[in-house]
Amino acid sequence: MHATNLKSSPLDPEAALHSFVVEAGNPFVFEIAKGQHVRIVDLEGNQAVDTIFYNAHDYADRYSAQDTIREQGNIYLTTGTALLSTNGNILLTITSDTCGRHDTLGGACAAESNMVRYDLGKRHMHACRNSFLKGIQQWNRGMDKRDITSNINFFMNVPVTSDGKLTFENGVSDAGKYVELRAEMDVLMVISNCPQLNNPCNGYNPTPVQILIWDKNVQ
């Protein structure tokens, strides 16, 4: 089932409260206050951005792919999608999307999955679970690997075949495309800007992304 709901944002990047560039393979951790908007920009195109959101006051209450898919009746995320937590709270809502759809089924690449999917020799390669772990260790608020659960793969193209299998294809994003979300509660955003080189999710060439955050009073 496909979802495509393209919508541009009226927010001016020059008016953003914060602007960060996250290099390929790096983690990024940041708290977003209720009412603030966050935009993830695919600077060069065809990049996958693995992301987990948490209730900023209770990390056990985190993004749930299953609940989000069930409530919206669609396996892809796009404008209008409410991102639900494990406790049934709405963490954020996607308010703008110039890409078209985003994956939440493919999960995060890991050293183990690189080895199983591709080759024993790929185990040493950097992966998103490594970045997530590095990010939460740097955050140093008591989180550990058990807190890394289901995630969103912004810009990633993971079609589902007629027999229910997942396939990894070239991304559906281009340079400058973005997804923007409004925080419906205080949330913690943990990003791994995917370093994957073994499938086309990054065009075999991982690239930087930009994170923009606007205050809740900016229109």
Between 109 and 117, the higher pLDDT residue: 109
59-95 pLDDT, tens digit each? 999 999 999 999 999 999 999 999 999 999 999 999 9
Show me where the domains of the chain are located: 17-214
Cα(192)–Cα(182) distance, integer angstroms: 20
CB atoms within 10 A of CB 99: 23
Total-model pTM: 0.92
Residue owning tokens 């709270």: 89
Over the stretch 139-181, which tens digit does the pLDDT of each residue have?
999 999 999 999 999 999 887 878 877 777 777 899 999 999 9
In this prediction, residue 219 carries a pLDDT of 63
What confidence tens digit (pLDDT) does each residue in 180-194 have? 999 999 999 999 999
Q: CA dihedral in degrees (41, 180, 108, 168; nearest 10)?
A: -70
Strand partners, 24: none
